[in-house]
Structures are given as C-alpha cells and as structure tokens.
A and B are shown apart, each in its own frame.
Chain A
C-alpha cells in the first residue's frame, strides 16, 4: 500500500525517468558494443571484451575518409547556411518590405516537409540539369535544409533585442557600421551561434537527403548505412561513442565555465 502511494506521488518522476532511460539505452549499447569482439560481420551480439577497435579506429577502409568528408561538408554547410540565414533573419526583423508572408512561408516550408520529398525533388532537379552528383550536390542540399533553422534561431534572438539599444548607440556617436559591429552583432551572436551549431549537427548527421543526392560519394552516415547492409565494423561504435563523450564533455565544460563566470560577476 505504501509502495502504491509512493508511486502515485512520484508518478511523473518515475515515468519521466523511464523515458530518459529509453532515450539513453541505445547510447549505452553503442558504448558497450564498442568493446566487443564480434564473430562474423555484424556487431549485434555480445561475444567478448576487446579494446582492439579503440586502438585502431581507422582500421576499416573508407571509415575515416567518410568521417573527414562529413566534417568538411558540415563545416562548409554551416558557414553557408549561417551567412545566408543571418542575412534573412535581419531583413525579416529589422526591415519592412513587400511579400513578407511569402518569404516567411518559403522559409517555413522546408521544415514542414518530409526529408524524403525534398531529397527526391532535389534529385529530379539535378538529374534534369545533368549535374554530376557528389560533394557539391551534397553541399547545396545541406545548405538548403539548414538555412531555415538558422533563420528561426537568429530571428528569435534579434526579435527579443530592444531596438532602443541601437538608438542608444547612435545617440552615443556610433555610425551605422559601428552600431552594427559593436552593438547589434554582439547581441545577436548567441542566436547566430545557436543556429550555426544546429546547422552543423543537422548537416553532419543527415542521411536521407544525402542518400539521394550523393551519387557514389560516401559520407559518414552513408558509410554506416552501407555497413548495415554488408557488415557493421566495431569501429562505427567507437566513433559514435567518441563523438558522444567529446560533445557531452564540451557541453559540461562550457557550462562550468559559464557558471564560474556568473558567480564571479555576482
């Protein structure tokens, strides 16, 4: 009876933690199986402990090459999407112009469309133009679908910014360029950074659109997809685990630094 009561009071907590476990279980499996020594081509069943894959992460042909390519594409796509998206966001928030509604829906639609539709239609365009599928078609596609997310992130930040700050800067003898560089941009920076991070993550992890428009070029997700058909090397788990650990460590460090800075200010 007491247990039932306890559960009743903690129902939200128990259910929430169950969901959290559901979310994290695959990562645990990925990590554990990065230390597996599988018999056969697939790494789905536990055999015995081994650190071999960790000592030789690039030991599978094509793996590290695809990783490098994915990083390159993600970097360029982030740069392109952030630049174009930030410009649009500023135009939307700071200026009045015709056809705002049309512009807004053109930006909203790519986010409201299943990836497979965008991927397929973009492929018909490339086929019709006779473009050679590869690095450039992937990059074009990635900039396209990251763009909207950057616009949303930057717009949110710029919109919450008090326009009087810019007026104050102008009152204090800053010209338009100075105002932009010394006031507007620094304040919008967190939004731009958030948009860029999102773009990087989306591009790096994209599979469906890349799958359609890559031709014979192999990015990291494409490599994983291919290996799921032919045989999964343990190194995939090593890379997955390493990315997870590095990213979480970066987040924790940046939070700790932020906390300390806040505390010093206080």
Chain B
C-alpha cells in the first residue's frame, strides 16, 4: 500500500457556533432586555398566574383565594377526559392526513415542478391571505348535506365505511368527526408542506443519482435515501400540525356538533361563558403539560433532537 498521510478527521460541527466575544459587555443584555421582558411578563408570568388560578376556590361575586384545591384537576379530568381523548385523536388523524397529503405536494414542488415551482409555492401560501375563519366556513358549503361532495362519497359507498367507523353519521358529513378532521387537516396543511419542502429541497439531487447508480430502483431510493433525509421536515411538520390542532376549537365549533367538542372548546366556554376560571385554568394547564410531554417523547423517539 502506498502511504497516504492521514488528514485529521473533522470534529462534528456544533449546531450553532459561539459568536466571538465583542467589546461592550452590556450591549447584548440591552438588546435582549425589552423583548425578553415582554415575553417574561406576557408569556411566562401568565403561566404562573394560570397555575395559581387553577388551585383557587371561590366564586365570581366573592372573589377567588388560593386554597391549594388540587382536586380541581381531578374533577376537570374526570369530567372532560372524553374531550381530551378526542382532541388527541382528531389532531393525530389530521396530522397523519396532512403528512399523506402534504408529502406528494412538497415532493412535487421540490423535484418535479421545474419552472412551475414558484407558481405552486404561491398557490400553497396564497390561501393564508384570506382569513382562515372565512375559508373554514367555506367547508360548510363544500360538505353541505346533499351537496356534490357528499353525494359522490355516498355513491362510492365511502360514507358507509366511515359511518361504520363512527366518523360520519347517516348520509351527513357536516357535524361529524370527519368534518372536523377534514377542517383541521385543511387548516394546518401548509404548516406540514413548508417544512417538508424545505428539507426535501436541501437534498442534493446527486444523492438520488448515487442511489440509482448503486442499484436502488426509484421506490427503494425513496425509502432508503429521500425519506430518511427528509426526516427533519417530517418531524417539524408533524409538530407544527399536531400542536395547534390539539388546542384548536374553531373547526370543532364551526364544522362539528356537541358530540365533537374538543378540549379547546371546553377551555373556551369555561373561560368566556361559564366563567369557571379554576376549572378552565386547570384544563389549560393539563393540555400544556400533556403536549409538552408528548412532544418531548416524540422528539426523543425520532432521534432528531439536534435537528429541531
């Protein structure tokens, strides 16, 4: 063997290089101060207040006192666990649907669109310019009873299947879980497509060629190269879809019925109509904790802590 001098292996690059120390020791703190103060007072402090509200007792008329009444949590959970389960179920279904629908489109934009790429990008973002409430209301028309969409689904016997699964009731789609999931999917689809597109677009097309050259047919190339490399996009896309979908109450309210109420609906009505602040705060706190735990587990599991 001829001698080849070994170049020292490059150390793995840290995710974010430490910026150089500069003159002006106080400058960074001055720059940070106003914004961080804002977040501390109007984001972090409210969480503390909410925690304290959740263990208060009393009434609107006589005022509330902190009595460490943790039973509120238990009561809230035992009364509203179906809404919690429903929220997670709906949000998870919507997330899976978003992934299934969004991946082909992101792939299309990244690799196949050619000169149409910019136009399709604009069309993906453009719906944002119309208020999402107006667009969600449009689904009432699309899924209207006896309308063309429902008629087609009925004719194809899709509704029989979904009714059997409990997603729809009779020949209606509106006011059923399917309508709510459909609306959630629609509302958060761009949040899936954009991160997917970003991570797909970063893939060097030569890696596809290299896989092809190494005997991987197109489907294998996708499974072994493209999809694994798009994992950062998949992870952030599912998070960006799942988190807001879990807390959403707009779709359940506009497209659903009393049987499709999600935890967001409960929090909203407890806070703004029933005015039972401790219960509402406890529910909101449980939701926050549940999401933080789920997200942490998910990120651990997908092994992409350094990518998020």
Contact = CB atoms under 8 A, between A and B. Distances in A.
B70 to A, nearest CB: 17
Contacts of A208: 247-250, 264
A64 interface: no
Interface string B5-26: 0000000000010111110000
Interface in B269-308: 271-272, 277, 280-281, 284, 287-288, 291-292, 295
B104 A94 contact: no
A4 interface: no
A29 B101 contact: no
A16 B104 contact: yes
A243 B38 contact: no
B134 A120 contact: no
Nearest to A255: B118
Interface string B126-153: 1111111111111111101000000000
B45 A125 contact: yes
A246 B271 CA distance: 37
Contact of A141 (B29, B42, B139, B189): B42
Nearest to B242: A114
A110 B134 contact: no
Contacts of B105: 15-17, 19-20
Of all A-B residue pairs in the complex, the 7 with the closest CB atoms, nearest first, are A114-B247, A16-B108, A95-B28, A15-B104, A247-B129, A84-B35, A121-B46
Given A96-B19, A97-B29, A106-B36, 20 more contacts: A15-B108, A17-B108, A19-B189, A19-B193, A26-B142, A90-B31, A95-B22, A103-B36, A106-B39, A113-B288, A116-B247, A116-B284, A118-B43, A118-B46, A125-B49, A207-B133, A224-B134, A236-B137, A240-B130, A244-B126
Interface of A: 11-13, 15-20, 22-27, 29-30, 33, 44-45, 84-85, 87-88, 90-91, 93-97, 103, 106-107, 109-110, 112-118, 120-125, 127-128, 140-141, 143-144, 147-148, 151, 159, 163, 201, 204-205, 207-208, 211-212, 220-221, 224-225, 228, 232, 236-237, 239-241, 243-244, 246-248, 251-252, 255
Interface of B: 16, 18-22, 27-29, 31-32, 34-36, 38-40, 42-47, 49-50, 53, 101-102, 104-105, 107-109, 112, 118, 120, 122-124, 126-142, 144, 186, 189-190, 193, 239, 243-244, 246-250, 254, 264, 267-268, 271-272, 277, 280-281, 284, 287-288, 291-292, 295
